[in-house]
Amino acid sequence: MALAELGAVVLDCPDPEALAGFYAEILDGTVEGDADWVDLRTPTGQTVAFQRAPGHVPPAWPSPDGSQQFHLDLTVPDLNEAEKQILTLGAKPLDTDAPTRTWRVYADPAGHPFCLCAC
């Protein structure tokens, strides 16, 4: 028997409404909340939350020791098309130089790394 169930994945950021809006465009989700806490609900029922964190410092990419704090894997049918769209939304490329690889790494507008993955 589980001790708990996962309520949400929460990303700290300087502007929860803006970052939730960025991911809502990518995931076709709905956004609700206030200036300090915003929930993004996806059409598949998952929730990602965004919490205001004054003084937020994005993780370094690549990190000096090769570790990551955390990242999201977003599955897409076409890497090239998805890349065009997320760059328009404000994502920044971090590791996209291997065109034959099935995944690419980007930073969201608050600096969190995330991957687009073609499965």
Instruction: Report the number of distinct structural domains present in the chain.
Output: 2
Long-range contact set of residues 91-98: C-beta below 8 Å, sequence gap at least 24: 91/22, 94/61, 94/62, 95/61, 95/62
Instruction: For residue 66, report the phi and psi dihedrals to the nearest 5 degrees.
Output: 85, 0
Query: What pLDDT is attached to residue 3?
Result: 58
Chain-centroid distance, C-alpha 109:
9
Per-residue pLDDT of the chain (119 residues; tens, 9 = 90+): 875 687 789 999 999 999 999 999 999 999 999 999 999 999 999 999 999 999 998 888 888 877 767 789 999 999 999 999 999 999 999 988 887 889 999 999 999 999 999 97
Query: What pLDDT is attached to residue 15?
Result: 96
Residue 19: give the domain boundaries: 1-55
Cα gap 4→22, rounded to integer Å: 29
Query: What pLDDT is attached to residue 4?
Result: 61
One domain for residues 49 and 104? no
Tell which of 14, 29, 55 closes a domain: 55
> Is 23:48 a contact under the CB 8 Å cutoff?
yes
Tell which of 9, 38, 55 closes a domain: 55
Query: What pLDDT is attached to residue 48?
Result: 95
- Total-model pTM: 0.85
Query: What pLDDT is attached to residue 52?
Result: 96
CATH number at residue 74: 3.10.180.10
Query: What pLDDT is attached to residue 88?
Result: 97
One domain for residues 62 and 119? yes
Tell which of 15, 31, 55 closes a domain: 55
Angle between helix 16-27 and 79-89 (nearest 10): 150
One domain for residues 50 and 65? no
> Is 13:19 a contact under the CB 8 Å cutoff?
yes
